[in-house]
Amino acid sequence: MSNSDNFRNAVLKKLGLAEENSGVFSDHWHEYNEKDAVESYSPIDGKLIAAASSASPEDYEQVLKHSIKAYREWLNIPAPKRGEIIREIGNELRRRKADLGNLVTLEVGKTESEGQGEIQEMIDVADFSVGLSRQLYGLTMTSERPKHRLYEQWSPIGPIAVVSSFNFPSSVWSWNAFVAAVTGDTVIWKPSSKAPLTAIAVIKVISGVLDRLKAPQIFSLLIGGGSIIGDRIANDTRVSLVSFTGSIPVGKTIAEKVAGRFGRTILELGGNNAAIVSDKSDMDMALKGVVFGSLATAGQRCTSTRRVIVQDSIYDEFTSRLKKAYSTVKIGPPDMKGVLVGPLIDSSAVNTFLSAIEEAKSEGGRLIYGGNVRKIEGYEGGFYVDPAIIEASEQMDIVKKETFAPILYVFRYKAMSDAIRIHNSVPQGLSSAIFTYDLREEEMFLAATGSDCGLANVNTSTAGAEIGGAFGGEKQTGGGRESGSDSWKSYMRRQTVTKNWGNDIPLAQDVRFDI
Ligand code: UN1
């Protein structure tokens, strides 16, 4: 294990992390407090990496006060100048990409390539946000009244909070944070307590850039406190928007609390994504797309392919090739050569995996591949499993739930209308895919009566979205949109402006009110 100890020590050192780290940043790092410290264990070998202190109620209050103060300064800086600051942050992330990516690998067990991809995604969002900072367009309308001008303008909304999940421990934060920053908001980050160190390292890098540029510290950090800090954020009227990535039940509680005070939410909750594989598809491509979708990040993406709906005529061939492909994918510690599937995040994820398989079997599902815990020599403390493939039916309850683990349910269909019905028969609506080269099938899938998800893919995987599009889903996925396209509008308030430059006050709708 000396290798992984060396790796850990080198990663911590390069990023300026210690055995014990403050988990609270306002415009400075708050003092480390042993009480309620969060310990971060690597899922690769189950060993302790380092600890981070959690926010106390006093820390919370200081962070809020600071964020409001920083907002007052930040909102007066012209948006393109804010963009220039985000450009510097993006450039620094480029320089630190390797080290930060390695920390992601260490802390959440992503493969090296996916760990680096996590940081690349932040860099991409930074670039996108720089361009956005010179846009933030409002529309101009024609007025029905003479000598009147009608247009809309956009203004920032103040401090926002981003509550992020372990599986994308920094990039999903940046989807919100960098876009919100160019709009003029400040951002309070509550990361997952399963990935506190990545958040601390990111804030260390970014706050260094802001310091150097003498810019206000617009990104604050509040680690831990679980529901305590989460509750405070949800109930605090000073936080104008809460962007939450996580489970449906927690998202529902947050949404209700924030709505109760007329705050805004962006919710990115569970996905239960399916790929339809038609007999008019390129089967090699379909296999690659489904295997990547179901096994990347060990099935722990919101966008993971959890269901594959295969046409009857190719069902046997496809499932047998699927099993074969699964058997060739290397599972193990991410630092081992050729590994594509790393560990699950912790022991409770392994238990959830095993109990979902039992539930599926008890409902009549047929386990046709994997489904075991895998022990890896030298990494006995790690959380490895053999991904499972289960033949399933639409009537089963378990297939309607998101299990955050590599379980793929296989369904059979004859007509495309049946495939689409099965596809839409779950409460979640994040991502979807169809593999076909038939134009009619493709268009059926993309029609209003087709996929009911926020993301629809043709001949590519449910997972692996680019940042340029708006990301998010429908139904119980929560309806939020983040990252690209016009998602920036969520972080701003719209003001419709009517200006009269005439000498009279004509009224709209021809109303008369002569005095
Ligand atoms: C998530 O799992 O919360 O599309 C986000 C993807 C990644 C993002 C997933 N770019 O798979």
Domain ranges within the chain, ordered by starting residue: 3-136+157-269+478-491, 273-468
pLDDT of 239 over the 50 cut: yes
pLDDT of 65: 98
358 labelled catalytic: no
Atom of ligand 1 at shortest range from CA of 300: 2
Specify the CATH class of 3-136+157-269+478-491 in words: alpha beta
The CB of 167 under 6 Å from ligand 1? The reply is yes
C-alpha 341/C-alpha 333 separation (Å) is: 8
Atom of ligand 1 at shortest range from CA of 302? 2
* Average pLDDT of span 464-476: 97
Residue-wise pLDDT tens digits, 155-180: 999 999 999 999 999 999 999 999 99
Residue 268 falls in the annotated catalytic set: yes
Determine the distance separating the centroid of ligand 1 and the alpha carbon of 71, expressed in angstroms.
29
Nearest-CA residue for ligand 1 atom 7 is: 464
172 CB under 6 A from ligand 1? yes
pTM of the model: 0.97
Of the candidates 114, 118, 302, 442, the residue annotated as catalytic is 302
Is there an atom of ligand 1 within 6 Å of 430 CB? no
Q: Is the CB of 175 under 6 A from ligand 1?
A: no
Determine contact, residues 329/340, Cβ cutoff 8 Å.
Answer: yes
- Residue 301 CB–ligand 1 contact under 6 Å: yes
CA–centroid distance, 344 to ligand 1, in Å, is: 16
Q: Is the CB of 463 under 6 A from ligand 1?
A: yes
**pLDDT tens by residue, 224-235:** 866 777 899 999
Q: How far apart (Å, rounded) are the C-alpha atoms in residues 100 and 199? A: 10
Angle (CA) 187-192-197 rounded to 5° is 85
Which ligand 1 atom minimizes the distance to the CA of 167? 2
Locate the ligand 1 atom nearest the alpha carbon of residue 465 and give its number. 4
Backbone angles phi, psi at 311, to 5 degrees: -70, 140
Which residue's alpha carbon is nearest to atom 5 within ligand 1? 302
Which DSSP state fits 92?
H
**Residue 46 CB less than 6 A away from ligand 1:** no
If you search the block for the tokens 């039916």, which residue do you land on? 393
Architecture of domain 273-468: 3-Layer(aba) Sandwich (3.40)
Q: Is the CB of 302 under 6 A from ligand 1?
A: yes
Count CB-CB contacts under 10 A for residue 512.
6
Q: Tell me, in angstroms, the distance from the centre of ligand 1 to residue 513's CA.
A: 56
CA-nearest residue for atom 6, ligand 1, is: 464
Alpha carbon distance 55, 69 (integer Å): 19
Contact between 63 and 96 under an 8 Å Cβ cutoff? The reply is: no
Least confident of 71-75, 128-132, 328-332, 335-339: 335-339
Per-residue pLDDT band for 2 (boundaries 50, 70, 90) equals: very low
Residue 49 and residue 107 in contact, taking contact as beta carbons nearer than 8 Å: yes
Rounded to the nearest angstrom, the distance between the alpha carbon of 130 and the centre of ligand 1 is: 22
Q: How much is the average pLDDT of 46-70?
A: 96
Is 483 within 8 Å of 467 (Cβ atoms)?
A: yes
Instruction: Calculate what percentage of the chain has a pLDDT beyond 90.
Output: 96
